[in-house]
Amino acid sequence: DTGVSQDPRHKITKRGQNVTFRCDPISEHNRLYWYRQTLGQGPEFLTYFQNEAQLEKSRLLSDRFSAERPKGSFSTLEIQRTEQGDSAMYLCASSSGRTGETQYFGPGTRLLVL
Amino acid sequence: DAKTTQPTSMDCAEGRAANLPCNHSTISGNEYVYWYRQIHSQGPQYIIHGLKNNETNEMASLIITEDRKSSTLILPHATLRDTAVYYCIVARYGGSQGNLIFGKGTKLSVKP
pLDDT at residue B1, as a whole number: 61
Q: What's the farthest any 2 CA atoms get from each other in chain A?
A: 42
Residue B94: is its pLDDT beyond 60? no
Contact A101 B93 (CB under 8 A): yes
Interface with A, mutate which of B99, B101, B104, B106 (most A CBs under 10 A): B99
pLDDT at residue B79, as a whole number: 97
Higher pLDDT, residue B94 or B68:
B68
Residue A9: is its pLDDT beyond 60? yes
Interface of B with A (CB under 8 A): 2, 32, 34, 36, 41-46, 49, 51, 85, 87, 93-94, 96-105
3-class SS string, chain B = CCCCECCCEEEEECCCCEEEEEECCCCCCCCEEEEEEECCCCCCEEEEEECCCCEECCCCEEEECCCCCEEEEEECCCCHHHCEEEEEEEECCCCCCCCCCCCCCEEEEEEC
Are the C-beta atoms of A79 and A19 separated by less than 8 Å?
yes
Residue B19: is its pLDDT beyond 80? yes
Nearest CA distance, A111 vs chain B (angstrom): 12
The string of pLDDT tens digits covering residues A71-111 is: 889 999 999 999 999 999 999 999 886 655 789 999 999 99
Residue B96: is its pLDDT beyond 60? no
